[in-house]
């Protein structure tokens, strides 16, 4: 019985949690625009090829945002030559140069995976009226 208590992991105390929060606050980007599922965005992403570095824009519809803090990610879907392409980006990645919100979409869900089954006009999302 005493051996089991010894092998149980220790609970982190509040000082350790404060250190984690301080470290996360240095990683989190503050200059990102507000965007959610259904929005059409362009993500300018740095790509390194050998010793060269270039910025490649990836434009598509945000189909989900998940996680929080430093581990938050979002998935962008676009159609390329009739084939659906999805890419998952970490929100706080240093490789993201900037995110531009092209259109705000009006959807009733946080994760719009139903777009995967639709093509053409059926895959359209209404624009949010301001």
Alpha helices, H only, the chain: 2-7, 14-27
What is the Cα–Cα distance from 111 to 10, expressed in whole angstroms? 36
| Domain range annotation of the chain | 32-118
Q: Supply the pTM of this predicted model.
A: 0.77
Comparing 33 with 6, which gets the higher pLDDT? 33
Residue 21: pLDDT over 80? no
User: What pLDDT, on a 0 to 100 scale, did the predictor assign at position 129?
Assistant: 81
Which fold, 32-118? SH3 type barrels. (2.30.30)
**pLDDT per position as a tens digit, 39-77:** 999 999 999 999 999 999 999 999 999 998 788 899 999
């Amino acid at each position: 019985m005493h051996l089991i208590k010894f092998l149980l992991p220790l609970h982190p105390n509040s000082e350790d949690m404060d250190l984690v929060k301080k470290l996360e606050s240095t990683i989190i980007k503050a200059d990102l625009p507000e965007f959610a599922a259904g929005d059409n965005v362009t993500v300018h992403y740095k790509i390194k090829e050998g010793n060269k570095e270039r910025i490649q824009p990836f434009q598509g519809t945000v189909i989900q945002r998940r996680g929080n803090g430093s581990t938050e990610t979002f998935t962008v879907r676009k159609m390329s030559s009739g084939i659906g392409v999805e890419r998952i980006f970490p929100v706080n990645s240093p490789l993201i140069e900037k995110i531009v919100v092209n259109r705000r979409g009006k959807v009733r869900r946080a994760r719009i995976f139903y777009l995967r089954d639709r093509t053409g006009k059926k895959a359209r999302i209404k624009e949010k009226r301001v």
